[in-house]
Amino acid sequence: MSAALAEAPPETRVHYLNADYGIKSWLLTTDHKRIALLYLASITLMFFVGGFMAVLMRIHLIEPAGALVHPDTFNKLFTMHGVSMIFFFLIPSIPAVLGNFLVPLMVGAKDLAFPRINLLSWYVFIVGAALTLTAIVSGGVDTGWTFYTPYSTTYANSQVMLTALGVFVSGFSSILTGLNFIVTIHKMRAPGLTWFRMPLFLWAIYATSIIQVLGTPVVAIAIFLVGLERLFHVGIFDPAVGGDPILFQHLFWFYSHPAVYIMILPGMGVISEIITCFSRKKVFGYHFVAFSSMAIAVISFLVWGHHMFVTGMSVYAALIFSVLSFLVAIPSAIKVFNWTATLYQGSISYQAPMLYALGFIGLFTMGGLTGLFLASLATDVHLNGTYFIVAHFHYIMVGGAVMAYLGGIHFWWPKITGRMYPDTWARLAAAIVFIGFNLTFFPQFMLGYLGMPRRYATYPAEFQVLNVMSSAGASILGLGYLIPLIYLVWSIRYGPIAPANPWRAKGLEWETSSPPPTQNFDVPPVVREGAYAYGPPGSELEGAHD
Name the residue nearer to other proteins (CB basis): 466 or 488: 466
The span from the CA of 103 to the CA of 190, in Å, is 12
CB 368 within 8 A of CB 332: yes
Question: Could you tell me which residues come within 8 angstroms of residue 439 by beta carbon, excluding any fewer than 6 positions away?
Answer: 469, 470, 472, 473, 476, 477
**Which burial class, exposed, middle or buried, applies to 428 when counting CB atoms under 10 A from its CB (0-12, 13-18, 19+)?**
middle
Question: Could you tell me which residues come within 8 angstroms of residue 392 by beta carbon, excluding any fewer than 6 positions away?
Answer: 367, 370, 371, 373, 374, 445
The span from the CA of 430 to the CA of 436, in Å, is 10
We find the least distance from the C-beta atom of residue 345 to other proteins, in angstroms, to be 6
We find the least distance from the C-beta atom of residue 48 to other proteins, in angstroms, to be 25
The span from the CA of 449 to the CA of 336, in Å, is 27
We find the least distance from the C-beta atom of residue 1 to other proteins, in angstroms, to be 18
Name the residue nearer to other proteins (CB basis): 144 or 499: 144
We find the least distance from the C-beta atom of residue 461 to other proteins, in angstroms, to be 12
Name the residue nearer to other proteins (CB basis): 75 or 100: 75
Name the residue nearer to other proteins (CB basis): 246 or 483: 246
We find the least distance from the C-beta atom of residue 489 to other proteins, in angstroms, to be 30
Give me the amino acid identity at 80: M
Name the residue nearer to other proteins (CB basis): 217 or 422: 217
Closest to 312 measured CA to CA, from 243, 250, 375, 387: 250
**Which burial class, exposed, middle or buried, applies to 157 when counting CB atoms under 10 A from its CB (0-12, 13-18, 19+)?**
exposed
Name the residue nearer to other proteins (CB basis): 83 or 112: 112
The span from the CA of 231 to the CA of 252, in Å, is 19
The DSSP H or E segment spanning 277 is helix 245-279
Name the residue nearer to other proteins (CB basis): 337 or 490: 337
Name the residue nearer to other proteins (CB basis): 42 or 209: 209
CB 246 within 8 A of CB 310: no
Beta bridge partners of 71: none
We find the least distance from the C-beta atom of residue 493 to other proteins, in angstroms, to be 29
The span from the CA of 415 to the CA of 238, in Å, is 52
We find the least distance from the C-beta atom of residue 169 to other proteins, in angstroms, to be 14
Name the residue nearer to other proteins (CB basis): 389 or 488: 389
We find the least distance from the C-beta atom of residue 89 to other proteins, in angstroms, to be 22
Question: Could you tell me which residues come within 8 angstroms of residue 200 by beta carbon, excluding any fewer than 6 positions away?
Answer: 269, 272, 273, 283, 286, 289, 290, 293, 531
We find the least distance from the C-beta atom of residue 455 to other proteins, in angstroms, to be 4
We find the least distance from the C-beta atom of residue 150 to other proteins, in angstroms, to be 6
User: 385 in the Ramachandran plot: left (φ > 0), alpha (ψ -120 to 50) or beta?
Assistant: left
Name the residue nearer to other proteins (CB basis): 496 or 524: 524
Question: Could you tell me which residues come within 8 angstroms of residue 174 by beta carbon, excluding any fewer than 6 positions away?
Answer: 91, 92, 212, 216, 262
Beta bridge partners of 346: none
